[in-house]
Structure 1
Amino acid sequence: MRIFVAGGTGVVGRPLVEALVELGHEVTASTHRSENFSVVEALGARPALMNGLDDAAVRQAIMAAGPEVVINQITALSAPSRDYGKWLETTNRLRSEGTRSLIAAACEAGTRRVIAQSASFMTQPVGSGPTDESAPLYREAPEPIRSHIQANIAAEALVLDTPGIEGVVLRYGFLYGEGTAIGPGGEWATAIQSGELPIVGDGAGRYPFVHVRDAVSATVQAVDRGSPGIYNIVGDEPAPQAEWLPYLAEILGAPQPRRVSEKEAEEQVGGQAVYYGTQLPAASNAKAKAELGLNLAYPSWRQGFREVFS
């Protein structure tokens, strides 16, 4: 099968391209830097130079590949995130403007299915049980979360509502593993080691973690499995901040994390710190298991964290 992976050298993109090639697919992988061509070629794929915000470049790359399936993994999240709002700005544009260009090109190229990355940690903080894919997104969230959620909503609508396209949205949880912020040398791991990442308030926010390998496996499954729609790609076990932060600190041999009030977190970091730390609902993966055949190598973040940092 001819598959185009937009963002083929990123944290998910690179192992995804490798997995697709190993299955015998004919893969074209985009990158916005020509120096990454050798990386793509080493994976057995054909490189395409593409800026995700350049309409003409997107059209040219996808038309040249003629893909049956397009997988959108483009983000701009590899840079440090000291200013959360600014950190998200380009990714927000890639989700809204970039997805529009990608969908238009895919339609013109006769693509059958488009699979797109989204986020499972943007739902309204209501109720006590895990949320599923029908749960309302947190549209009234404080900035800068609100802009990111709006960009995700726009991207998801383009993928799901375009006639002639089988749209599949994969709402990944917080990624951990090689190359991520929660991996060796990653930003979160480094912050925990230096005691900079605190528990906010009661730390009751439940993080939906997912190992990169499981995100890749689910994406491969979505190439030819599952009805069009939205799927949460998360682990089995919700992770309250008050549990996972001390657990990871212990694994890393770091000091136990300090606690800050919600007010302090909002003043020092931003409203997102309060939402993630105290309000974030758990997310269910039942639909992905039933329809995509999601089979987690790392169902528990506890097992996964220990292996990642072993």
Structure 2
Amino acid sequence: MRIFIAGATGAVGSRLVPLLVEAGHDVTGSTRRDTGCEALHAQGATGIVMDPLSAESVLAAVAEAKPEVIVHELTALSGLSGNLKKWDQEFAMTNRLRTEGTDHLLAAAATHGVRRFVAQSFGGGWAYDRTGGAVKSEDDPLIGDPGKEARASLAAIRHLEDTVTGAPGIEGIVLRYGNFYGPGNATSRDGALADLLRQGKLPVVGGGTGVWSFVHIDDVGSATVAAVERGAPGIYNIVDDEPAPVNQWLPFLAEQVGGKKPMRLPAWIARPLIGQFGTALMTSVRGSSNAKAKQALGWTPTYATWRQGFKTGIG
């Protein structure tokens, strides 16, 4: 198939390109600069310089690529400070890519008769409603209000998911990726979380009962290939087999990266420091089930749980 990857040099795109090339697909990827085109050429793909926030640039890129499938992996996640009280400010560009960028790509897809559209969303836990069971499926509702620090980010996720799955004449697939770990990510041996744990600056807040879902970055790539090749339209959680509360995974990660055992901090003390949203991440968010992706996509994560992955796959 002819496949166009928007954001082909990012965290997911850079792993997805060689997998699709190896599978025999004709891959074109977008990048923001000429050096990205050189990197894509080295992986066996064709690079196109594209401004994802320009409708004209996106239309021209899709016209040149002539794809049967568009994969939307556009984000702007490098250089985040981790300030949970400024979540929406830090994700402002990613939110634009999930709204304006998605609209431009779908318009180009409609113009050029693209039959399938696969888009990155988020399923690591915080977007789901925080009532009921600790683990949520794709049929469970998203939260109405995630906290004032993340309202714009949730609105952008809703826009992307509703627009992609509702696009007329297009097979729209949304992949709710879990929290990434592995080489080049915050949860790696030399990543930002590891640094904080080694400095003893990342506590368990409250009871640490917020449930997170993780996924290794390489498993994200293999799941996305499965969605491109055989996924039915709809939404899929792309996470590992073991959603886990903070009070389990954070001390375990600290041990693997040579960090200090996280201290405990009461929620009432932490709330002024990390905000309503940050406190929820530590105490009340829900995890995600991968049952649908495993059954419908025929996908199984290589790293079945974060316990295995944090030991051998964080880089």
Specify the TM-score bucket, using the shorter chain as the normaliser: over 0.9
Q: Does 1:109 align with 2:122?
A: no
One-letter amino acid of the counterpart of residue 85, structure 1: D
SS at match of 1:270: helix
Cα deviation per residue 1:54-89 (whole Å; 9 max; x = unaligned)?
A: 111111111110100000001001112334232111
**Displacement of 1:129:** 4.0
Q: Report if the CA contact (8 A) 2:205-2:282 is conserved.
A: yes
Partner in structure 2 of residue 150 of structure 1: 155
Partner in structure 2 of residue 284 of structure 1: 289
Pair 216,309 (structure 1): closer, same or farther in 2 beyond 3 Å: closer
Q: Report if the CA contact (8 A) 1:3-1:27 is conserved.
A: yes
**Displacement of 1:46:** 0.4
Q: Which moved more, 1:258-267 or 1:150-159?
A: 258-267
Partner Cα separation in structure 1 for residue 91 and residue 269 of structure 2: 22
Match of 1:89 among 75, 92, 97: 92
Partner Cα separation in structure 2 for residue 12 and residue 195 of structure 1: 30
Cα deviation per residue 1:245-280 (whole Å; 9 max; x = unaligned)?
A: 111111111111122222333211222211111111
Partner Cα separation in structure 2 for residue 66 and residue 137 of structure 1: 35
Partner Cα separation in structure 2 for residue 111 and residue 241 of structure 1: 41
Partner in structure 2 of residue 262 of structure 1: 267
Q: Does 1:204 align with 2:219?
A: no
SS at match of 2:91: helix
Q: Report if the CA contact (8 A) 2:211-2:245 is conserved.
A: yes
Structure 2 residue runs without a partner (length 5+): none
One-letter amino acid of the counterpart of residue 275, structure 2: G
Partner in structure 2 of residue 61 of structure 1: 61
Partner in structure 2 of residue 167 of structure 1: 172
Cα deviation per residue 1:141-198 (whole Å; 9 max; x = unaligned)?
A: 2122221111000011111111110000000000101111111322222222222222
Q: Which moved more, 1:4-13 or 1:251-260?
A: 251-260
Partner Cα separation in structure 1 for residue 313 and residue 198 of structure 2: 15
Partner Cα separation in structure 2 for residue 198 and residue 40 of structure 1: 40
Partner in structure 1 of residue 77 of structure 2: 77
Partner Cα separation in structure 1 for residue 285 and residue 314 of structure 2: 25
Q: Which moved more, 1:256-265 or 1:42-51?
A: 256-265
One-letter amino acid of the counterpart of residue 48, structure 1: I
Pair 270,51 (structure 1): closer, same or farther in 2 beyond 3 Å: farther
Partner Cα separation in structure 1 for residue 175 and residue 91 of structure 2: 19
Q: Which moved more, 1:160-169 or 1:128-137?
A: 128-137
Q: Does 1:294 align with 2:299?
A: yes
SS at match of 2:302: coil
SS at match of 2:196: helix
One-letter amino acid of the counterpart of residue 35, structure 1: T
**Displacement of 1:295:** 1.1
Give the alignment of 1:213-252 within 5 angstroms: 213-252=218-257
Runs of 4+ in 1 over 6 A off after TM superposition: none
Partner Cα separation in structure 1 for residue 152 and residue 269 of structure 2: 23
Q: Which moved more, 1:258-267 or 1:98-107?
A: 258-267
Cα deviation per residue 1:109-134 (whole Å; 9 max; x = unaligned)?
A: 11110000001121010112421001
Pair 33,269 (structure 1): closer, same or farther in 2 beyond 3 Å: farther
Q: Report if the CA contact (8 A) 1:193-1:249 is conserved.
A: yes
Partner in structure 1 of residue 26 of structure 2: 26
**Displacement of 1:208:** 0.5
Partner Cα separation in structure 2 for residue 93 and residue 263 of structure 1: 33
Partner Cα separation in structure 2 for residue 290 and residue 85 of structure 1: 34
- Percent identical among aligned pairs is 44
One-letter amino acid of the counterpart of residue 258, structure 2: G
Task: Report how many residues are paired.
Answer: 310
Partner Cα separation in structure 1 for residue 276 and residue 182 of structure 2: 26
Partner in structure 1 of residue 102 of structure 2: 99
Cα RMSD, aligned residues only:
1.2
When normalised by structure 2's length, the TM-score is: 0.95
**Displacement of 1:201:** 0.7
Partner Cα separation in structure 1 for residue 272 and residue 45 of structure 2: 46
When normalised by structure 1's length, the TM-score is: 0.97
Q: Report if the CA contact (8 A) 1:251-1:309 is conserved.
A: no
Partner in structure 2 of residue 16 of structure 1: 16
One-letter amino acid of the counterpart of residue 51, structure 2: N
One-letter amino acid of the counterpart of residue 3, structure 1: I
Q: Report if the CA contact (8 A) 2:183-2:314 is conserved.
A: no
Partner Cα separation in structure 2 for residue 51 and residue 79 of structure 1: 20
Partner in structure 1 of residue 39 of structure 2: 39
Partner Cα separation in structure 1 for residue 314 and residue 153 of structure 2: 30
